[in-house]
């Protein structure tokens, strides 16, 4: 009698728990959807949103490190030997960046701004004094002038200018001069014949306290996937440097903002004026920064692949005859024709021939990889390293005798590492937001789980009560007391001559029994 009620209670418990679980999952999904919708509305580039002020003035400190390649065998290289380079650095600067002239446009669906940057030297994070330390490297102004000179008359005049200015193929300058600019004697002479020529040269000349031009960004109010996406740069929706629409496309963000609710299978696009193009990054692995989960995105080898390895990159060839190999990008179209080539440091992800042509290079992912660590829920950057190398294409140039002994070489000059890690205050805010985003969707499951436990306990108590009731109400067919008590017990069958067998009941203790 007890097994059947117990089985009924058990089946009822399972059914009830399954029902509660289904309700809990449904409610959790509803709450999760509501939370995601809330994030999509909060993470937009409009006044009063959670991210607007930090987008305009990012709180985490950004550091810019510069590493230079010092040439130790100039004379031997000019005769055809491999160049021998020694890496010197870092020379570290604190980078202050903010959005200037921020203006809401297009009914609040877009915002225009200028990305302004300034740099302050940090002696304690540097290997030496940039005002004193000298670097021997490629004379970029001379190489730019030689590459642009066309025709016998111009080549002859340039040779005269280079001789009078004592401008050689290599130069020795301080780190400060190479970075922030110096008056080059050759450029001074060229300015006299062409006022458009700038007589000051520096790798970071005019980049301290300046900007890259006006950006117009989508706010993400209409579609959260558009959050921070660049709409135009300098009034253009397309670039004009390259030979295909795909190569000239402006896609993704400027690297300072990414939409929330990121997926691992996404490809992130970033438009960078320094490279005059859009690059992309793919998911690499899960990481954690200050307890915040993040997805690491990094540029794959295909970004700077040759047209043979990646036909989509054909548009980045300056001319059909000037298509470089995998791992390098000639950016002369946006550098006034100068033979400048961009790559990752030490030709990381590039062809082995570029590394083999120079002594002193050793590409390593740990030190030379570019990556972004993004929290997938909020899209917040928790850590990043942007690494890029400036090279000069060196070769024999007709009309310039000093170049006759040279082999074609992509010559490293300097590489930079722009890094940031989320600060503690920002990390605490992200933790708080993630806690809310995690607890709210799971709250229904917690309540349902608690209700299921209470239901289970209630049914167990019912079963126990049922068993106790059966125990106290069970019937008794025989009672044993003293021998004087009167009771009956069955006796052996007797044969009735008239009615057959019968069972007789006799008092216990009867001597006749």
Is pLDDT larger for residue 488 or for residue 162? 162
- The rounded mean pLDDT for the chain is 85
**Per-residue pLDDT at 491:** 46
**Per-residue pLDDT at 4:** 57
Contacts of 256 (CB under 8 A, 6+ apart): 55, 58, 115, 228, 381
**pLDDT at 488 > cutoff 50:** no
Model pLDDT for residues 412-434, shown as the tens digit of each residue: 999 999 999 999 999 999 998 88
**pLDDT at 461 > cutoff 80:** no
**Per-residue pLDDT at 273:** 93
Model pLDDT for residues 496-511, shown as the tens digit of each residue: 444 444 444 444 444 4
Q: Of 36-50, 183-197, 206-220, give the lowest mean pLDDT range.
A: 36-50
What is the rounded distance in angstroms from the CA atom of residue 196 to the CA atom of residue 303?
A: 34
Determine whether 164 is exposed, middle or buried from the number of CB atoms within 10 Å of its CB (0-12, 13-18, 19+).
Answer: exposed
**pLDDT at 513 > cutoff 50:** no
Confidence of residue 47 (pLDDT cuts 50, 70, 90): confident
Q: Percent of the chain scored above 90 by pLDDT?
A: 68
Contact between 172 and 134 (Cβ < 8 Å): yes
Model pLDDT for residues 372-409, shown as the tens digit of each residue: 999 999 999 999 999 999 999 999 999 999 999 898 99
Q: Percent of the chain scored above 70 by pLDDT?
A: 77
Using alpha carbons, select from 118, 67, 72 the residue that is nearest to residue 92.
Answer: 67
Confidence of residue 450 (pLDDT cuts 50, 70, 90): low
Paired residues of 409 in beta bridges: 394
Is pLDDT larger for residue 70 or for residue 3? 70
* Across 438-459, average pLDDT: 56
Confidence of residue 319 (pLDDT cuts 50, 70, 90): confident
**Per-residue pLDDT at 36:** 52
Contact between 389 and 411 (Cβ < 8 Å): no
**pLDDT at 168 > cutoff 60:** yes
Is pLDDT larger for residue 185 or for residue 10? 185
Contact between 275 and 331 (Cβ < 8 Å): yes
Alpha carbon separation from 83 to 86, 341, 360, 408, 411 (Å, rounded): 10, 17, 9, 12, 9
Confidence of residue 492 (pLDDT cuts 50, 70, 90): very low
């Amino acid at each position: 009698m007890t097994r059947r009620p117990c089985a009924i209670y058990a089946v009822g418990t399972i059914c009830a728990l399954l029902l509660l679980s289904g309700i809990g999952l449904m409610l959790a999904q509803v709450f999760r959807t509501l939370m995601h919708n809330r994030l999509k509305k909060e993470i937009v580039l409009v006044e009063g949103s959670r991210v607007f002020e930090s987008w305009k003035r990012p709180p985490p400190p950004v550091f810019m490190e510069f590493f230079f390649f010092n040439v130790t065998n100039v004379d031997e290289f000019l005769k055809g030997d491999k160049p021998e380079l020694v890496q010197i650095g870092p020379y570290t600067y604190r980078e202050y960046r903010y959005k200037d002239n921020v203006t809401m446009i297009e009914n609040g669906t877009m915002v225009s701004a200028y990305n302004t940057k300034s740099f302050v030297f940090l002696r304690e994070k540097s290997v030496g004094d940039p005002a004193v330390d000298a670097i021997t490297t490629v004379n970029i102004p001379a190489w730019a002038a030689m590459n642009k000179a066309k025709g016998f008359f111009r080549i002859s005049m340039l040779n005269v200018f280079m001789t009078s200015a004592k401008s050689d193929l290599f130069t020795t300058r301080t780190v400060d001069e190479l970075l922030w600019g110096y008056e080059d004697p050759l450029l001074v002479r060229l300015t006299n014949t062409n006022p458009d020529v700038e007589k000051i040269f520096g790798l970071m000349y005019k980049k301290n306290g300046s900007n890259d031009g006006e950006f117009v960004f989508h706010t993400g109010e209409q579609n959260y996937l558009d959050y921070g996406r660049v709409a135009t740069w300098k009034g253009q929706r397309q670039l004009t440097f390259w030979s295909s629409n795909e190569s000239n496309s402006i896609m993704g963000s400027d690297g300072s903002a990414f939409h929330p609710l990121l997926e691992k299978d996404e490809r992130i696009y970033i438009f960078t004026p320094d490279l005059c193009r859009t690059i992309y990054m793919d998911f690499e692995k899960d990481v954690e920064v200050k307890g915040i989960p993040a997805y690491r995105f990094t540029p794959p080898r295909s970004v700077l692949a040759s047209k043979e390895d990646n036909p989509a990159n054909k548009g980045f060839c300056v001319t059909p005859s000037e298509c470089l190999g995998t791992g390098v990008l000639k950016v002369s179209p946006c550098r006034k024709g100068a033979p400048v080539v961009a790559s990752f440091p030490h030709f990381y992800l590039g062809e082995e021939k570029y590394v083999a042509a120079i002594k002193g290079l050793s590409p390593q992912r740990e030190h030379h990889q570019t990556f972004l660590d993004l929290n997938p829920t909020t899209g917040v950057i928790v850590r990043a390293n942007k690494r890029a190398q400036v090279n000069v294409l060196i070769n024999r140039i007709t009309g310039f005798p000093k170049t006759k002994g040279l082999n074609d070489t992509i010559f490293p000059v300097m590489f930079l590492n722009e890094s940031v890690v989320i600060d503690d205050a920002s990390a605490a805010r992200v933790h708080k937001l993630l806690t809310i985003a995690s607890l709210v969707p799971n709250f229904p499951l917690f309540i349902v789980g608690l209700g299921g436990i209470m239901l289970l306990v209630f049914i167990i108590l019912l079963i126990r009560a049922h068993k106790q009731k059966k125990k106290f109400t069970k019937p008794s067919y025989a009672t044993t007391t003293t021998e004087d008590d009167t009771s009956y017990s069955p006796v052996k069958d007797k044969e009735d001559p008239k009615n057959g067998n019968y069972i007789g009941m006799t008092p216990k203790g009867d001597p006749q029994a």
